[in-house]
Structure 1
Amino acid sequence: MKKAVLFFLLSIFALCEISAQITVSGTVSDEQGIPIPAANIVEKGTTNGVVADFDGNFSIEIPEGTTLIFSSIGYGTVEKAVNGQTTLNVTMAEEASQLDEVVVVGYGTQKAVNLTGSVETVKAEEIAKQPVAQASQALAGLVPGLTATQSSGQPGSDGAAIRIRGVGTLGSGAKNNPLILVDGIPDDINGLDPSDIESISVLKDASASAIYGSRAANGVILITTKRGKEGKISTSYNTYVGVQSIAQNLKFADALGYMEAFNSAEPGAFSDDVLNQYRSGNGVGSEALPDSDWVGLLFNSAAIQQYHSLSVRGGSEKLKVASSISFTDQDGNIPNFKFQRYNGRFNLDYALSKKLDLAFDLNFRREIKSQPARLNDLTRSAYRLQPLFVAFNDDGTYGSGFGGSNPVALANSTAKDETVSNYFRALAKVTYRPFNNFSIAATYAPQFFDRDQDDFRARYTYYEGSGGVAQSTVGGGISESSLFKETFTTFQDNFNAVANWGKEFGDHNISVLGGYEFLKFNSEIWSASRRGFVLDEFRGLDNGLPDTQLNSGNSTLNGLESLFGRINYTYKNKYLFEANVRRDASSRFAEGYRSATFPSFSVGWVVSEEKFLQDNETINFLKFRASWGQLGNQFIFAANRTDNNGDVIQGSDGSAVAQEVNFPYTSLFGLGNANAVIGGTPVVGGAQSVLANSQLQWETGETQNVAMDAKFFNSKLSFTGEYYVRKTKDILLGVTIPTSVGLEAPVQNAGEVWNTGYDISIGWNDMIGEDFRYGINLNYSGFDNEIKDLGGLDQLPPGNTINRVGEEIGSIYGLKVDGLYQESDFDVDGNLNSSLPSPGFGAIQAGDLKYADISGPDGVPDGAITNDDRTIIGSDITTQNWGLELFSAYKGFDLSVSLLGAGGRDVVLQGDAGWAFFNAGKIQEWQTDYWTPTNTGAAYPRLTPGSSHSNWRVNETWMHDASYVRLRNITLGYKIPRDLLDKFSISAARIYLSGQNLATWDNMPEGIDPLTPQFSSGAFYPVTKVFTMGLNVTF
C-alpha cells in the first residue's frame, strides 16, 4: 500500500513538472532587424539549448519562469527571463570590441577587425545553398582574387581548379594550386562532404600565408569542419535529387550537310544521285542511307545524381561531439558511368580539466568511379566519326561504325574501367594551459590513401549489316581482351606543436605564437597487365596469357621540417602590427640549400576608432592595412602523368595530374631502364636517368599588399579594395640540353615572374519593412602577368605557346592573318602574284589563309612566310574575374542568384575541335561559313581533307575570345512554417529548387564551352547543367 501511495505521489509530481514546461519561439535579429543565423539559445544554468536557423528563428522547450541566454559571435550576450510568454523576439547589438566575426588564420583565429593580412572568409551557409557534388564548385565567384574553374562534367572529375591571384610560376608540369588544409591538415577539398564545412578562410597575400612557408607560394585555403556545441543534441538530414544534362556540346552537320561540304573539299566525292536520295528524306537513317548522330547517341540526354547526409551535433560543458555520414551518387551522361562517394566524420572535444583539453577526430571516405573502358577513345570517336558510318543496323544490332570501331557499342558493353579509392585520417590533439594566457597544443594526424584501378577491355559484338556475321573487337582493330591493374598507396605523417601566449596591458594587447611542424610523405605505385582472355567473365590476371604479362612499379618519399612563429600587437584597438616567420627544411634540396626562412610583416590602422570618426553616422568602420612577405616553393613537377592509354590523367578538379620530382639535386639511377640479354638470359640493368643540380635552391615569392576595408550606413554597405605586387623568383625550371646527352634535363633556378593586380568587393545588405531582406555582393579582380627573367635567355623554345621575357606566361604563339587568298591573287596559270610573300608551308590556292609577313631570320620581313613570322597573337591566361551574388528573403521564402564571369583569355581551336575534316573527321555547324568562289567573304578558309595543311597552323583565324558570363546558380527555397513542424517534433525544415550552370554567354563558336579544355584529339567531357530538388531538416 505504501508503495502504491508513493508511486501515485511521484506520478502527480512528474505530471506537475510536465505541466510546467512551455515552448518558447521567436526570432533573433540585429539592430537593423536582420536575422542572426546560428545564434545560440541556452536555458541558464543547464545544457538545454538550441541553435537559431538561417533566418534567426528558434523554438525551445523550457520550464516556466526560467531565463534564456542568447549569444552569437560579434554580438553582446542577452539574457531574457521567461514569465509565461511563448513568443520572444530578441534584438542583439554588436559589441564595440567585436565589430566583426572571428576568422580562422594560420594555426589559430583572429578577430576580423584586427586582421592586417589579406584574408577572405566564406561561411557555411554560402556553401550549403549550392547543392554540388564537389565542394570546390561552390567557391566559384564568391571570393575576389580566387578563381574556381569547372572545366569538365565527368563524374568524379567535375571539381573546380582553384587559383589564387593568378599564375605565379612556369615550367613543364608547373602547378599553381593553393595549399588546402582541412582542420589544419592537407586534404582534397573535393573529397569533403559540403555539409561538414563550418567555414573557409582564403589567405591571399604573403603576410597571411607566410606562417605556412614553402607550402603557401600559391596561397592557402583553410577549411574548418563543424564541431560539437554545448547544448541540446541536434540532428540534421540534408538530401537532394538532381537531373544533369550536357550544358552545351559540339554541333555537327548531318549526313547531307557533311556530304555537301565534303564535295567542296573534294569535288565529286559524292554523286548527285546519293545527295538527292538524302534530300528526299526517304529512308534516311537506315543502313542504306545512314545518318548517325554519334555525339547524341553517346551522351544520354539526362542522368540522375543524389545526395544524402545525416549529422548529429551537441554536448555538455565538458564533452562535445559532432558526427556525420553522407552518400553521393552521380550517374554519367555516358552509359555505364557512375561515381559514388561515402563520407564519414567524427569530431570529439573533451575538457579533461580546466587546464587540459583533448580532441579526437576520425575521417574516412570511399570513392568508386566506374566508367566504360577507353573513355577518351569513346569521346574521340564520337567527335570524329562521320555520320555516314552505321551505329545501329536496321534490325537493332550494333553496326560496324568505322572498321568495327563503334563507340556506342563499346560504351554499352561490359568493358569497364573501375577505380576504388579509400582515404582515412585520424587526428589527436592535446591542449594544455599551465597558467593564465598561455597554452601549448600538440597535434598528430596520420593519413592513409589507396587507389586501386581495374581496367578491363572486354570485347563487344557488332555486325556488318542486318543478319550479318557477328564479329568481336575491343576497338581499334584489337580482337583480344586485356586487363590492366594499378595500385597506388600513400601514407603521410603530420605533426605540429604550437604554443600561444597573449596578454592585455591597458591599451596594449600582445600575443605570441611559436611552433614546430613535421611532415613525411611516402608513396608506392605498381601496375600489371595481361592480354588474351579466353572468357571475359573471368577477369583475374591469372586468366590472361602468361607470355603477355607486363608489370612495373616505383616508390618515393619526401619530408619537410619547420619552425614558425607569429607576433601580434594592438594599441587601443586601432594600431595593428603583425610579424610572421617560418623556417623550412626540405628533403628535395641538397645539404647547404635545404633550409630557407620566410618572413612577413604587416600593419593596420583602424581609422574608425579615432575620435574624429567615432561619432560619424555614415562611416561605421574604416581600416587601412599594408603588408610585405616572402614565401617559398619546393614543388618540382615533371611531365603530366598518363594512363595506360597514353592519355593525361585528370584529378578531381579536371586538371592534369603532374608527376612530382623528389630528388632533383642528385643523379638518379634507375633499375630496369637498361636491361640486356647476356648469354641468352635476360639480365636487369640500370643506368643514370637524369642529370643532377646539387646547387638547386628554393623558389621564392615576394608579395606587397595595400588595402582598405570599410563599412557605411549602419554597416549596410561594405567595401574592400586591395592592390598587390607578387614577385616569384628563382623559379624551378627545367633547362634544355642536347638530345645526344641521353638524359633528362636537370632543374635549375632560372626564372622570375611578376603578377600585379587588384581585388575589389562591395556589398549591400538591407531590409524593406519587417519581412523582406536582400543582399547584393559584387567582387572583381584583375592582374597583369609578366616574365621578368628566364635565366639569362630571352625566351624558352616555343611551341604553340611561348615563354618570353617581357610577356606573360604561356602567350599564344602563332601567325597573323591578312585575310584569304582570292582568285585575283593568282595569274592565269595559278601562280601567286610576285607582289605577295611566297608561301612556306606548302602549295596554296584561292581560299587559303593569307599569312602576314612580319619577320625573317634577321627580325625584318623577308618576303617569305616561315616560322620566323610567328609572333604572340593572344593570351592563354584569364586575367579578369568577377562574381555577383544576389539574395532576397520574404517571410519563409528565399531566393539566391549567382553569376560569374571572366575575360582576358583566348582559345585556339585546332585539330578535331577546330578544323573541319581533320584526320577523316567531320564538320561542325560553325565551320560551314567556308570560302567558295561564290562566298569569298567567308569567315574561314576553303575546306581541305587530310591531316596536314598550311591552313592548319596556330593562327588568328582559329583563335577566339574566351570571355564569358555564366549563370552559375539559382536557388529558390521555402521554410516550412514552425506551427506545422511542431506537430512532428521538427526544429526546422526547408525545401528548395536549384539549378547549376544554367546558361553561358560568350564569344565562342556555338556548342563550344569556353572553359572546356579543347584537346586537339577531341578527348573531353563537356560541363553539365543540373536541376535539383532538396530538403534540409533539423530535429
Structure 2
Amino acid sequence: MKKYLFIFCLLLGAATGAFAQAQRTITGVVRSATEALPGVTVLVKGTTNGASTDPEGRFSLTVPTGQPVTLNISSIGYVSQEIPVGDREQINVTLKEDAQQLNDVVVIGYQEVNRRDVTGSVSSVGAQQIKDVPVNSAAEALTGRLAGVQLTSSEGTPGNQEVQVRVRGGGSVTQDNSPLYVVDGIQIENALGVIAPQDIASVDVLKDASATAIYGARGANGVVIITTKKGLEGKTVISYNGFAGVRKITNTLGVLEPDDYLNYQYERSRYAGVAGLNSFRTLFGSRNFASDTITRARNSPFVDWQDDVFGKNAFQQTHNVSIAGGVKGTTYSLSLTRNTEDGIQRGSDYERSLINFRFDTKATDKLTVGLNVRFNDQEANGAGTSTSGSSVTSRLRNTVQYQPLNIPRADGTVVDVTAFDPEFFETSTLVNPILTIDNEYRLDKRRTFNVGGNIALELAKGLVFRSTAGFDITNFDLSTFNGRYSPTIRQAAGAI
C-alpha cells in the first residue's frame, strides 16, 4: 500500500511540475509616441485570452509554453499591431496614431462631421480629458478645457447649481445669457448639473451663428451638445470608477487682531462725531481708574472666525459603476453614480444619486432606434456663503467683519464671543457668524427625470431622416427656516 501511495505522489508531483512549466507570464508596456496608453487591448491571437493596460500602460498575461504565440495589440485611434512573442517575457510596444481614425468627429446638431469640414467656431472636449478629474460636477470638470467658454461659480457650496456658462461673453444685461443644452439630441435645462462627469463621452460647444442657426433664437447664446457614453458590440464590460479625498481652505483673508481692531473702531468713531464716540464707549468702554475696559479688550484672546466657519476638513467621495455591452446591431449602457460631499463651511453637505441608461438598436438595415433614460436625485444642505438680498444676510461678511474678541463691559461682565451681542448688532448689523449659521436652515432637494427617444431612417445613401422626442421633469423642494438670531429675521423685524 505504501508503495502505491509513493508512486501516486511522484506522479502528482510530476504532473504539477509539468503544469507549472506549461505556462509562462508575459509583461510589457504599451506607449504612443509621447505617453503611456491605458485601456489598450492585448489579446493572444486566435484565443479569448487577453488583458488591458493599466493607467501606466502596463499589462500582464499568461501564455502556453512551447507554442508559437502572437499578441494582437489594438486601441481606438491607433494602428493595430501583431507581435510574435517567441521566447521573450517582456514586450514593449509603441503604437502609431491612425490618421484616419483620429479625425475628430464634431456633433453640430443634425449630423456628425469631421473637424476639418466645420466652418463655424466649435470647441470640443472628450471623455479622456475629464475622466480622471476628481470632481462631482460636470461644470467643474469642464472648467478651463473649452476654448472661448467661460464657466464661473458664484460660490463653492457643495452641489452649487448656480454655475454660469458664457459662450460669447456677457451679452444682454437684463436677459438670461445661458447657452442651450442638448443631451443626446434632447434639450435639457442646466444639463451640467444633472449629469455625472463619468457618463460624458464628448462635449461640443457651437459658438457662432452658422453653427447655431439650426436652433434658431434658442441658440443665440451658443449651444452645448453633450453626448453620453454608449455600449459597444461584444462581451459585457463592468467597470468601476471612484475616488475619495479631503478638501480644506487654502487661504483666508487677513483680519484685524484685537489691538488693531480697537484702534480702527476708535478712529472710525471720531469721524462720526459725538454720537460715534458715545457708541464706541457703549461697545468697548473706556479708560478710567475704576474699570480700564479698553486695556482688557486689547489683551483679549484673538478670535479668527474664519477658522471656526471655514475650518472643516471636508471629506468627499464618488462611486460610479457602469455596465455596457451589446450584440450585433444592439448596444446598451447602464451607469450608477453616488456622490457625497461635506462642505468646507460649517453646516453644509451634499448628496446625489444618478442613474443613466442608454439603449441603441438597429431594427432594420435602414432603421435605427435609440432610448435614453436619466434620473437625478440630490440634496444640498446649507445656506452657502451668501443669499439674495442685502449684504446683511451674507455669512461671509459676518465671518470677516465680526468683532474678533471678547468684549468686557464697564460693569465687569464680559460679552461671550459666542453669544449674540444686541448692542453690537444695532451699530453694525453684524451677527456672530456661528449663531448665524446655526440659526439658518436650508435644504434644497431636486429630482430630475429625463426620457428621450430617437429614430433614424436612411431614405437614400447619404440622406437620413432623424426625429427625436423627449420630456424633462424636475421637482424642486426648498425648505428654509430662519431662527431668532438669523440676520434675515433681525433685519426685517429689528431686535427681538
Q: TM-score, normalization: structure 2?
A: 0.74
386, 391, 410: which one pairs with 2:403? 386
Q: Are the equivalent residues in 2 in contact too, given 1:431–1:441 (CA < 8 A)?
A: yes
Which amino acid is 1:305 matched to? Answer: Q
Identify unmatched segments of 5+ residues in structure 2: 1-20, 271-276, 388-392, 426-430
Which amino acid is 2:109 matched to? Answer: G
* 1:435-584 equivalences in 2 (<5 Å): 436-459=461-484, 475-476=490-491
Q: Are the equivalent residues in 2 in contact too, given 1:389–1:402 (CA < 8 A)?
A: no
Whether 1:331 and 2:304 are equivalent positions in the alignment is: no
297, 305, 316: which one pairs with 1:278? 297
1:353-373 per-residue CA deviation (whole Å, 9 max, x = no partner) reads 444433222111111012259
Quote the Cα distance in structure 1 between the aligned partners of 2:494 and 2:462. Answer: 74
Which amino acid is 1:180 matched to? Answer: Y
TM superposition shift of 1:189: 0.9
Structure 1 residues 242, 24: closer, same or farther in 2, change over 3 A?
same
Which amino acid is 1:241 matched to? Answer: A
Which amino acid is 1:419 matched to? Answer: D
* 1:28-427 equivalences in 2 (<5 Å): 28-30=30-32, 32=33, 34-39=35-40, 52-58=53-59, 70-79=73-82, 88-95=91-98, 97-98=100-101, 100-157=103-160, 160-167=163-170, 169-172=171-174, 174-187=175-188, 188-267=191-270, 269-270=280-281, 271-272=286-287, 273-279=292-298, 281=299, 284-285=300-301, 293-371=304-382, 376=387, 377=393, 379=395, 380-387=397-404, 398-402=418-422, 405-413=431-439, 415-427=440-452
Q: Are the equivalent residues in 2 in contact too, given 1:122–1:201 (CA < 8 A)?
A: yes
Quote the sequence identity (%).
Answer: 31
Structure 1 residues 312, 476: closer, same or farther in 2, change over 3 A?
same
1:541-576 per-residue CA deviation (whole Å, 9 max, x = no partner) reads xxxxxxxxxxxxxxxxxxxxxxxxxxxxxxxxxxxx
Quote the Cα distance in structure 2 between the aligned partners of 1:366 and 1:47. Answer: 40
Which amino acid is 2:434 matched to? Answer: V
Q: Are the equivalent residues in 2 in contact too, given 1:372–1:410 (CA < 8 A)?
A: no
1:748-805 per-residue CA deviation (whole Å, 9 max, x = no partner) reads xxxxxxxxxxxxxxxxxxxxxxxxxxxxxxxxxxxxxxxxxxxxxxxxxxxxxxxxxx
SS of alignment partner, residue 314 of structure 1? strand
1:485-533 per-residue CA deviation (whole Å, 9 max, x = no partner) reads xxxxxxxxxxxxxxxxxxxxxxxxxxxxxxxxxxxxxxxxxxxxxxxxx
Q: Are the equivalent residues in 2 in contact too, given 1:298–1:334 (CA < 8 A)?
A: yes
Task: Identify the structure with the greater helix proportion.
Answer: 2
Quote the Cα distance in structure 2 between the aligned partners of 1:38 and 1:107. Answer: 31
* 1:662-701 equivalences in 2 (<5 Å): none
Structure 1 residues 293, 65: closer, same or farther in 2, change over 3 A?
same
TM superposition shift of 1:446: 1.6
Aligned length: 442
TM superposition shift of 1:75: 3.7
Which amino acid is 1:106 matched to? Answer: G
1:695-739 per-residue CA deviation (whole Å, 9 max, x = no partner) reads xxxxxxxxxxxxxxxxxxxxxxxxxxxxxxxxxxxxxxxxxxxxx
Quote the Cα distance in structure 1 between the aligned partners of 2:383 and 2:234. Answer: 49
Quote the Cα distance in structure 2 between the aligned partners of 1:424 and 1:20. Answer: 55
TM superposition shift of 1:218: 2.3
Q: Are the equivalent residues in 1 in contact too, given 2:150–2:166 (CA < 8 A)?
A: yes
* 1:855-870 equivalences in 2 (<5 Å): none
Q: Are the equivalent residues in 2 in contact too, given 1:73–1:102 (CA < 8 A)?
A: no
Quote the Cα distance in structure 2 between the aligned partners of 1:432 and 1:68. Answer: 40
1:802-835 per-residue CA deviation (whole Å, 9 max, x = no partner) reads xxxxxxxxxxxxxxxxxxxxxxxxxxxxxxxxxx
TM superposition shift of 1:420: 0.8
Quote the Cα distance in structure 1 between the aligned partners of 2:172 and 2:459. Answer: 48
TM superposition shift of 1:149: 2.6
Structure 1 residues 411, 139: closer, same or farther in 2, change over 3 A?
same
TM superposition shift of 1:384: 4.3
TM superposition shift of 1:260: 1.1
TM superposition shift of 1:322: 2.0
Quote the Cα distance in structure 2 between the aligned partners of 1:354 and 1:81. Answer: 39
TM superposition shift of 1:182: 2.2
Q: Are the equivalent residues in 1 in contact too, given 2:196–2:337 (CA < 8 A)?
A: yes
Structure 1 residues 165, 227: closer, same or farther in 2, change over 3 A?
same
Quote the Cα distance in structure 1 between the aligned partners of 2:343 and 2:151. Answer: 22
Quote the Cα distance in structure 2 between the aligned partners of 1:433 and 1:23. Answer: 49
Structure 1 residues 49, 122: closer, same or farther in 2, change over 3 A?
farther
Quote the Cα distance in structure 1 between the aligned partners of 2:184 and 2:93. Answer: 33
Identify unmatched segments of 5+ residues in structure 1: 1-18, 286-290, 462-472, 482-1035
Quote the Cα distance in structure 1 between the aligned partners of 2:68 and 2:352. Answer: 49
SS of alignment partner, residue 133 of structure 1? coil
Quote the Cα distance in structure 2 between the aligned partners of 1:176 and 1:125. Answer: 29
Which amino acid is 1:227 matched to? Answer: K
Q: Are the equivalent residues in 2 in contact too, given 1:74–1:101 (CA < 8 A)?
A: no
Quote the Cα distance in structure 1 between the aligned partners of 2:184 and 2:71. Answer: 32
Q: Are the equivalent residues in 2 in contact too, given 1:164–1:218 (CA < 8 A)?
A: yes
SS of alignment partner, residue 266 of structure 1? helix
Quote the Cα distance in structure 1 between the aligned partners of 2:177 and 2:200. Answer: 24
Which amino acid is 2:296 matched to? Answer: Q
1:710 corresponds to: none
Q: Are the equivalent residues in 2 in contact too, given 1:47–1:232 (CA < 8 A)?
A: no
Q: TM-score, normalization: structure 1?
A: 0.38
Quote the Cα distance in structure 2 between the aligned partners of 1:235 and 1:29. Answer: 25
Structure 1 residues 476, 77: closer, same or farther in 2, change over 3 A?
same
TM superposition shift of 1:82: 7.2
Quote the Cα distance in structure 2 between the aligned partners of 1:126 and 1:373. Answer: 30
Quote the Cα distance in structure 1 between the aligned partners of 2:46 and 2:368. Answer: 22
RMSD (Å), alpha carbons: 4.2
Task: Identify the structure with the greater strand proportion.
Answer: 1
Which amino acid is 1:175 matched to? Answer: D
The more displaced of 146-155 and 35-44 is 35-44
Q: Are the equivalent residues in 2 in contact too, given 1:424–1:449 (CA < 8 A)?
A: yes
Q: Are the equivalent residues in 2 in contact too, given 1:238–1:308 (CA < 8 A)?
A: yes
Structure 1 residues 350, 453: closer, same or farther in 2, change over 3 A?
same
Q: Are the equivalent residues in 2 in contact too, given 1:44–1:68 (CA < 8 A)?
A: yes
Quote the Cα distance in structure 2 between the aligned partners of 1:266 and 1:33. Answer: 66
Quote the Cα distance in structure 1 between the aligned partners of 2:50 and 2:165. Answer: 39
Structure 1 residues 115, 374: closer, same or farther in 2, change over 3 A?
closer
Q: Are the equivalent residues in 2 in contact too, given 1:98–1:111 (CA < 8 A)?
A: no
